[in-house]
Amino acid sequence: AEHQHTRYNPLRDDWVLVSAHRVKRPWQGQLEEPPREDVPRWDPNNPLCPGATRANGEVNPQYESTFVFPNDFPALQPDAPEPDDSDHPLFRAAPARGVCKVMCFHPWSDLTLPLMSLTEIRAVIDAWAELATELGASYPWVQIFENKGAMMGCSNPHPHCQVWASSFLPNEARLEDRTQRQHLSQHGVPMLLEYAEQEARRKERLVLENVDWLVVVPYWATWPYQTLLLPRRHVCRLQDLSEGERDSLASIMKRLLIKYDNLFEVSFPYSMGWHGAPTGPHLEEDCRHWQLHAHYYPPLLRSATVRKFMVGYEMLAQAQRDLTPEQAAECLRNLPEVHYK
């Protein structure tokens, strides 16, 4: 807790420098603007609201639960042409096709997941699973992710996420596929199933748990209050969760996100996303090495206005953090589970 050291991340096959003493240094850097507290519940000019007109001229229905629609400015399109052949191995390109969807969690713009009911969160989980099944029938990778807060690049406060399906396995997916496959081959057990069992027993990085799930600040965490959400049983994909596991997932997500908001009494920014076994042509393959999990990457470090910057050493050498994962886990673990609002 007092001296710098490095920790190995077996999921990414890399290392992080832990320098816990650096959190004591005075901060004279940039201060962020706290999130808006005056978001209107409904705004006709907000393209994600029920009944609003989006950029392409389409009018949203008067939806009352989740609402999924094609991204009006997609990063991936299903009919993109093939790139030209390269004349040199240092200038390679490959086809990239796919679809991008937006999913609104709720019709109200002033709600976030921790302020929604368990029934409403369960509807989000079911919609995630439906999209994973639908898009995963043909695409190798379906990435569900939420960018929450302007600090994480979110331009619209309405509660929503994105789902991108791609014709290729992205870098993080290929990396996790390799490391989990190697671990199963060498140790005979899925990496993250074994890891969850170890963290549940050790408890020093455990933030939350219930009958089906646990949340930890991973031993190798990079972001200050990063967490990893893991099922207790072996589950390869989100759509494989049982009814009971979906209910308990809604519960533990709400508890975690309330703790995040309570940490600095602010609508806590983060990027999160689900990782599970590849789909499409991989549905017929042996994917036992995969274990479903969700990553939460929040940037805040000291307060609602002081963030962790991944620059300099982090970009040019390796990741570095300013407090130990054990300190972060203890802080989160001791926070109340009643929302500060």
Domains of the chain (ranges plus CATH)? Answer: 37-82+92-333 (3.30.428.10)
pLDDT higher than threshold 80 for residue 2: no
What is the number of other CB atoms lying within 10 angstroms of the CB of residue 206? Answer: 18
Amino acid identity of residue 279, one-letter, is T
Beta bridge partners of 147: 271
Going by DSSP bridges, is the β-strand pair 270-275/227-231 parallel, antiparallel, or unpaired?
Answer: unpaired
Which position has the token pair 């997916």? 173
What was the pLDDT predicted at 276? 98
Which amino acids are annotated catalytic?
160
Q: Residues 127-172: pLDDT tens digits?
A: 999 999 999 999 999 999 999 998 898 989 999 999 999 999 999 9
Residue 246 is labelled as binding a ligand = no
User: Is 154 a known ligand-binding residue?
Assistant: yes
pLDDT digits (tens, 9 = 90+) for 100-130: 999 999 999 999 999 999 999 999 999 999 9
pLDDT of residue 236: 98
How many helices (H) does the chain have, and how many strands (E)? 6, 14
45 assigned binding-site residue = no
Q: What pLDDT is stored for residue 116 in this prediction?
A: 98
Q: Provide, rounded to the nearest whole percent, the portion of the chain with pLDDT above 70.
A: 98
Is 16 annotated as a binding-site member? no
Predicted confidence at residue 196, as pLDDT, reads 98
What is the arithmetic mean of pLDDT over 257-282? Answer: 97
Q: Is 275 part of any known ligand binding site?
A: yes
**Short-list 220, 227, 230, 293, CA closest to 14:** 220
Q: Is residue 26 pLDDT above 70, yes or no?
A: no
The answer to the question of whether 260 is labelled as a binding residue is: no
Least confident segment among 27-41, 83-97, 100-114: 27-41
State the residue for tokens 């300013």: 322
Residue whose tokens read 């991008």: 100
Q: What is the arithmetic mean of pLDDT over 219-239?
A: 98
320 annotated ligand binder: yes
* pLDDT for 273: 98
Interhelix angle 171-187/191-202, rounded to 10 degrees, is 80
28 DSSP 8-state letter: -
User: Would the annotation count 49 as a binding residue?
Assistant: no
Residue 23 reports pLDDT greater than 80: no
Residue 22 has pLDDT above 80, yes or no: no
Distance CA 120, CA 247 (A): 11
> Half-sphere exposure (CA, 13 Å, Cβ side) for 195?
26
* Length of the chain, in residues: 341
